[in-house]
Amino acid sequence: MFSEKNVELLTGIIHEELLKAIGETLLMTFLPTLLAFAIGLPLGVLLVTGDKRGIRPLPSPVMQVLNVIINLLRSVPFLILLVVVLPLSRLVVGTSVGTKAIIVPLTIAAFPFVARLVETSIREVDQGVVEAAQAMGASPMQIVYKVLIPEAKPALISNFCVSLITIFGYGAMAGILGGGGLGAIAINYGYYRRRELVMWVMVILLIVLVQIFQSTGNYITKRSDKRIR
Protein backbone atom coordinates (compact mmCIF):
# COMPACT_ATOMS: atom_id res chain seq x y z
CA MET A 1 0.00 0.00 0.00
CA PHE A 2 2.87 2.36 0.77
CA SER A 3 4.76 1.63 -2.43
CA GLU A 4 6.61 4.41 -4.20
CA LYS A 5 4.02 4.59 -7.00
CA ASN A 6 1.14 4.90 -4.52
CA VAL A 7 2.91 7.64 -2.57
CA GLU A 8 3.75 9.53 -5.77
CA LEU A 9 0.15 9.30 -6.97
CA LEU A 10 -1.18 10.50 -3.61
CA THR A 11 1.31 13.38 -3.58
CA GLY A 12 0.24 14.43 -7.07
CA ILE A 13 -3.44 14.31 -6.10
CA ILE A 14 -2.79 16.40 -2.97
CA HIS A 15 -0.95 19.06 -4.97
CA GLU A 16 -3.22 19.16 -8.02
CA GLU A 17 -6.72 18.01 -7.08
CA LEU A 18 -7.29 17.94 -3.33
CA LEU A 19 -8.35 21.55 -2.73
CA LYS A 20 -10.68 21.47 -5.72
CA ALA A 21 -12.15 18.16 -4.55
CA ILE A 22 -12.77 19.53 -1.03
CA GLY A 23 -14.47 22.58 -2.54
CA GLU A 24 -16.67 20.37 -4.73
CA THR A 25 -17.54 18.19 -1.73
CA LEU A 26 -18.58 21.20 0.35
CA LEU A 27 -20.61 22.60 -2.56
CA MET A 28 -22.37 19.26 -3.09
CA THR A 29 -23.12 19.17 0.63
CA PHE A 30 -24.22 22.66 1.61
CA LEU A 31 -26.09 23.81 -1.51
CA PRO A 32 -28.39 20.75 -1.77
CA THR A 33 -28.96 20.89 2.01
CA LEU A 34 -30.04 24.53 1.81
CA LEU A 35 -32.24 23.84 -1.23
CA ALA A 36 -33.72 20.76 0.49
CA PHE A 37 -34.56 22.84 3.57
CA ALA A 38 -36.06 25.58 1.40
CA ILE A 39 -38.48 22.94 0.07
CA GLY A 40 -38.71 20.60 3.05
CA LEU A 41 -39.25 23.18 5.80
CA PRO A 42 -42.59 24.51 4.47
CA LEU A 43 -43.64 20.98 3.55
CA GLY A 44 -42.88 19.72 7.04
CA VAL A 45 -44.79 22.59 8.61
CA LEU A 46 -47.68 21.91 6.24
CA LEU A 47 -47.76 18.24 7.27
CA VAL A 48 -48.37 19.36 10.86
CA THR A 49 -50.59 22.40 10.41
CA GLY A 50 -52.66 20.75 7.66
CA ASP A 51 -53.37 17.65 9.72
CA LYS A 52 -56.96 17.14 10.86
CA ARG A 53 -55.85 18.13 14.37
CA GLY A 54 -53.63 20.96 13.10
CA ILE A 55 -54.13 24.68 13.37
CA ARG A 56 -55.20 24.95 9.70
CA PRO A 57 -56.59 21.56 8.55
CA LEU A 58 -56.48 20.87 4.83
CA PRO A 59 -58.75 18.52 2.87
CA SER A 60 -57.91 14.89 3.56
CA PRO A 61 -57.19 14.03 -0.15
CA VAL A 62 -54.63 16.84 -0.32
CA MET A 63 -52.80 15.55 2.76
CA GLN A 64 -52.93 11.97 1.50
CA VAL A 65 -51.41 12.92 -1.87
CA LEU A 66 -48.70 14.95 -0.14
CA ASN A 67 -47.82 12.08 2.19
CA VAL A 68 -47.76 9.56 -0.67
CA ILE A 69 -45.40 11.72 -2.74
CA ILE A 70 -43.02 12.22 0.18
CA ASN A 71 -43.09 8.53 1.10
CA LEU A 72 -42.47 7.45 -2.50
CA LEU A 73 -39.47 9.71 -2.91
CA ARG A 74 -38.06 8.61 0.43
CA SER A 75 -38.40 4.94 -0.44
CA VAL A 76 -36.27 5.09 -3.62
CA PRO A 77 -32.59 4.20 -2.99
CA PHE A 78 -30.34 7.14 -3.75
CA LEU A 79 -28.27 5.50 -6.50
CA ILE A 80 -31.43 4.49 -8.37
CA LEU A 81 -32.88 7.97 -7.93
CA LEU A 82 -29.61 9.41 -9.16
CA VAL A 83 -29.82 7.43 -12.40
CA VAL A 84 -33.47 8.37 -12.92
CA VAL A 85 -32.97 12.09 -12.24
CA LEU A 86 -29.74 12.64 -14.21
CA PRO A 87 -31.69 13.49 -17.41
CA LEU A 88 -33.41 16.23 -15.41
CA SER A 89 -29.97 17.48 -14.38
CA ARG A 90 -29.05 17.77 -18.04
CA LEU A 91 -32.19 19.82 -18.61
CA VAL A 92 -31.65 22.09 -15.58
CA VAL A 93 -27.89 22.65 -15.53
CA GLY A 94 -26.92 21.51 -19.03
CA THR A 95 -24.92 18.43 -18.06
CA SER A 96 -25.39 15.04 -16.43
CA VAL A 97 -21.77 14.69 -15.27
CA GLY A 98 -19.86 16.52 -12.57
CA THR A 99 -20.59 18.47 -9.42
CA LYS A 100 -23.33 20.71 -10.83
CA ALA A 101 -25.27 17.76 -12.22
CA ILE A 102 -25.30 15.96 -8.87
CA ILE A 103 -26.87 18.90 -7.03
CA VAL A 104 -30.27 18.27 -8.65
CA PRO A 105 -30.68 14.60 -7.60
CA LEU A 106 -29.17 15.36 -4.19
CA THR A 107 -31.84 18.00 -3.60
CA ILE A 108 -34.65 15.75 -4.83
CA ALA A 109 -33.42 12.89 -2.66
CA ALA A 110 -33.05 15.09 0.42
CA PHE A 111 -36.13 17.29 0.60
CA PRO A 112 -38.62 14.49 1.48
CA PHE A 113 -36.23 13.37 4.23
CA VAL A 114 -35.99 16.95 5.47
CA ALA A 115 -39.77 17.33 5.38
CA ARG A 116 -40.20 14.35 7.71
CA LEU A 117 -37.50 15.62 10.06
CA VAL A 118 -39.16 19.03 10.19
CA GLU A 119 -42.53 17.40 10.79
CA THR A 120 -41.10 15.47 13.74
CA SER A 121 -39.49 18.61 15.16
CA ILE A 122 -42.69 20.65 14.92
CA ARG A 123 -44.81 17.90 16.49
CA GLU A 124 -42.53 17.95 19.53
CA VAL A 125 -43.56 21.52 20.36
CA ASP A 126 -45.66 21.73 23.53
CA GLN A 127 -49.30 21.96 22.48
CA GLY A 128 -49.99 24.13 25.50
CA VAL A 129 -47.91 26.90 23.95
CA VAL A 130 -49.86 26.60 20.70
CA GLU A 131 -53.19 26.66 22.52
CA ALA A 132 -52.11 29.73 24.48
CA ALA A 133 -51.24 31.52 21.23
CA GLN A 134 -54.63 30.56 19.76
CA ALA A 135 -56.39 31.83 22.88
CA MET A 136 -54.62 35.18 22.42
CA GLY A 137 -56.03 35.42 18.87
CA ALA A 138 -52.89 34.61 16.90
CA SER A 139 -53.45 33.67 13.28
CA PRO A 140 -52.16 30.34 11.92
CA MET A 141 -49.33 32.14 10.14
CA GLN A 142 -48.35 33.96 13.34
CA ILE A 143 -48.40 30.68 15.25
CA VAL A 144 -46.08 29.11 12.67
CA TYR A 145 -43.54 31.94 12.61
CA LYS A 146 -43.72 33.11 16.22
CA VAL A 147 -44.43 29.87 18.09
CA LEU A 148 -43.81 26.62 16.20
CA ILE A 149 -40.55 27.44 14.42
CA PRO A 150 -38.93 29.33 17.35
CA GLU A 151 -39.90 26.60 19.82
CA ALA A 152 -38.62 23.89 17.50
CA LYS A 153 -35.40 25.75 16.61
CA PRO A 154 -32.94 23.48 18.53
CA ALA A 155 -34.47 20.36 16.98
CA LEU A 156 -34.49 21.98 13.53
CA ILE A 157 -30.81 22.89 13.84
CA SER A 158 -29.98 19.36 14.97
CA ASN A 159 -31.94 17.93 12.04
CA PHE A 160 -30.19 20.32 9.66
CA CYS A 161 -26.93 18.75 10.81
CA VAL A 162 -28.38 15.25 10.30
CA SER A 163 -29.49 16.23 6.79
CA LEU A 164 -26.09 17.77 6.03
CA ILE A 165 -24.25 14.58 6.97
CA THR A 166 -26.74 12.42 5.06
CA ILE A 167 -26.34 14.51 1.91
CA PHE A 168 -22.58 14.46 2.45
CA GLY A 169 -22.73 10.67 2.30
CA TYR A 170 -24.93 10.76 -0.80
CA GLY A 171 -22.49 13.11 -2.49
CA ALA A 172 -19.59 10.76 -1.79
CA MET A 173 -21.54 7.88 -3.35
CA ALA A 174 -22.32 10.01 -6.40
CA GLY A 175 -18.69 9.66 -7.49
CA ILE A 176 -19.66 6.25 -8.88
CA LEU A 177 -21.79 7.93 -11.54
CA GLY A 178 -19.68 10.91 -12.49
CA GLY A 179 -19.95 13.14 -9.44
CA GLY A 180 -16.98 15.13 -8.20
CA GLY A 181 -15.35 15.72 -4.85
CA LEU A 182 -13.43 13.47 -2.48
CA GLY A 183 -15.72 10.54 -3.20
CA ALA A 184 -14.81 10.66 -6.89
CA ILE A 185 -11.09 10.58 -6.08
CA ALA A 186 -11.59 7.65 -3.71
CA ILE A 187 -13.53 5.70 -6.33
CA ASN A 188 -11.61 6.66 -9.51
CA TYR A 189 -8.08 6.46 -8.11
CA GLY A 190 -8.50 4.27 -5.05
CA TYR A 191 -11.06 1.66 -6.08
CA TYR A 192 -10.86 1.41 -9.88
CA ARG A 193 -7.05 1.69 -10.01
CA ARG A 194 -6.58 -0.38 -6.84
CA ARG A 195 -4.57 2.34 -5.06
CA GLU A 196 -5.57 1.58 -1.49
CA LEU A 197 -3.47 4.38 0.00
CA VAL A 198 -5.39 7.01 -1.99
CA MET A 199 -8.73 5.46 -1.05
CA TRP A 200 -7.95 5.33 2.66
CA VAL A 201 -6.63 8.90 2.79
CA MET A 202 -9.83 10.14 1.11
CA VAL A 203 -11.94 8.08 3.52
CA ILE A 204 -10.09 9.61 6.47
CA LEU A 205 -10.68 13.11 5.08
CA LEU A 206 -14.40 12.33 4.67
CA ILE A 207 -14.55 11.11 8.27
CA VAL A 208 -12.80 14.26 9.52
CA LEU A 209 -15.29 16.47 7.67
CA VAL A 210 -18.22 14.53 9.14
CA GLN A 211 -16.80 15.00 12.65
CA ILE A 212 -16.41 18.73 12.04
CA PHE A 213 -20.01 19.02 10.79
CA GLN A 214 -21.36 17.00 13.73
CA SER A 215 -19.36 18.87 16.39
CA THR A 216 -20.33 22.24 14.95
CA GLY A 217 -23.98 21.22 14.75
CA ASN A 218 -23.98 19.96 18.35
CA TYR A 219 -22.42 23.22 19.57
CA ILE A 220 -24.93 25.42 17.73
CA THR A 221 -27.83 23.24 18.89
CA LYS A 222 -26.78 23.56 22.54
CA ARG A 223 -26.33 27.32 22.20
CA SER A 224 -29.81 27.70 20.74
CA ASP A 225 -31.57 25.51 23.32
CA LYS A 226 -32.92 27.82 26.00
CA ARG A 227 -33.70 24.84 28.26
CA ILE A 228 -30.01 24.18 29.02
CA ARG A 229 -28.83 27.75 29.54
Give the C-alpha separation, 184 to 181, whole Å: 5
pLDDT digits (tens, 9 = 90+) for 217-229: 888 888 876 655 5
* Surface-to-core class of residue 188, CB atoms within 10 Å of its CB (0-12 exposed, 13-18 middle, 19+ buried): middle
Helix/strand/coil for 171: helix
Give the C-alpha separation, 176 to 186, whole Å: 10
* pLDDT of amino acid 211: 92
- Sorting pLDDT into bands at 50, 70 and 90, what band is 186? confident
Domains and CATH numbers, the chain: 4-228 (1.10.3720.10)
116-125, 177-186, 190-199 — most confident range: 116-125
pLDDT digits (tens, 9 = 90+) for 116-160: 999 999 988 888 888 888 888 888 888 888 888 888 888 899 889
* pLDDT of amino acid 37: 92
Stated pTM of the model: 0.85
Other Cβ atoms within 10 Å of 207 Cβ, number: 10
Residue 82, pLDDT above cutoff 70: yes
Q: Are 67 and 52 in contact (CB under 8 A)?
A: no
pLDDT digits (tens, 9 = 90+) for 44-66: 999 998 888 888 888 889 899 99
pLDDT digits (tens, 9 = 90+) for 84-102: 887 888 888 877 777 888 8
Q: Are 29 and 171 in contact (CB under 8 A)?
A: yes
| Residue type, position 222, single letter | K
Give the C-alpha separation, 46 to 58, whole Å: 9
Give the C-alpha separation, 159 to 143, whole Å: 21
